Amino acid sequence: MGYKVVVVGATGNVGREMLNILAERQFPVDEITALASRKSLGTEVSFGDKTLTTKDLDVFDFAGWDVALFAVGSEATKIYAPKAAAAGCVVIDNSSLYRYDPDVPLVVPEVNPDAVEGYAKKNIIANPNCSTAQMVVALKPLHDRAKIKRVVVSTYQSVSGSGKDAIDELWNQTKGVYVPGQEVEPKVYPKQIAFNVIPHIDVFLEDGQTKEEWKMVAETKKIVDPSIKVTATCVRVPVFVGHSEAVNIEFEEFLDEDEARDILREAPGVMVIDKRENGGYVTPVECVGDYATFISRIRQDATIENGLNLWCVSDNLRKGAALNAVQIAETLGARVLKKG
């Protein structure tokens, strides 16, 4: 006996990827339905070799369904997630709405799988921010060995993190640079993204951080350890898919780079590709479509007593969103629901 699964926001980038990953990983589905807003009603989406026609989220009855994967924004989630949860359907939410709620577990299954068992307070589990998810997969096994004091991270985040309109904006601006008369003014972003980098993701807060930077701090503390100090600079770059991060880590005790490399090679969800030669590292183009979080450029930081640097790359539509949500569903099934 398998699960009855709902994908909410099935016509978006993340929703479609959720359907792909559910099929690829052979999640034990007895019945699946794809939901969308009324403007996308009737759109066809793929689930393995099947084609699903989207149904109306506004009138859908969640009673009798086991799991709902939500891939819609916070405003829609605020309306529909409580309805699903009240009907007995466990919500796995990809928006930021519930991430900082103390009664909602924030889960990366390779890092804190036990946390899924706290779902019952609200019948909701939160999926972390894409940039946080890939980083904590690398941090946790190192933290278990040498205890992390502080993390300094600079991100290089792809436009797919902002949705389809952002992908189109990069594509059209890039063409417009070369074709006179086809220049495209920025709409999704405050400045041109083609051939540029923008040190601004989400809104600015009073202390000068952006909300994206604050998310990385708060989520790392909630998922890994509240004692870790984190500072982040989040940057949008002209890459279609795949987030990259330069991560500087300070430990409480010395951790040799070779031991760190060995630890990460054994860590779940991590793939180490770290050769000190031309091309001996992973770039975002190479990570697209892969489940792993790739780690390269592991090296001591001689400017602090117990420091390491590393380079972290992952497909943000997969590990940063859809894959992590499906892994949460798998973990919930194995530990709590126990079907399939």
Catalytic residue flag (residue 143): no
- Separation of alpha carbons 306 and 42, rounded Å: 56
Specify burial of residue 49 (Cβ count, 10 A radius: 0-12, 13-18, 19+).
exposed
Cβ contact 134:312 at 8 Å:
yes
- Separation of alpha carbons 281 and 209, rounded Å: 30
DSSP 3-state of 52: strand
Task: Count the neighbouring beta carbons within 10 Å of the beta carbon of residue 50.
Answer: 10
- Separation of alpha carbons 21 and 27, rounded Å: 8
DSSP 8-state code for residue 118: G
- Separation of alpha carbons 42 and 286, rounded Å: 34
Which is the catalytic residue, given 89, 143, 234, 243?
243
Task: Count the neighbouring beta carbons within 10 Å of the beta carbon of residue 43.
Answer: 13
H or E element, residue 55: strand 55-56
DSSP 3-state of 209: coil
Which is the catalytic residue, given 130, 234, 287, 312?
130
Two structure tokens written together for 313 = 């790359």
Catalytic residue flag (residue 130): yes
- Separation of alpha carbons 313 and 270, rounded Å: 10
Give the catalytic positions in this structure: 130, 243
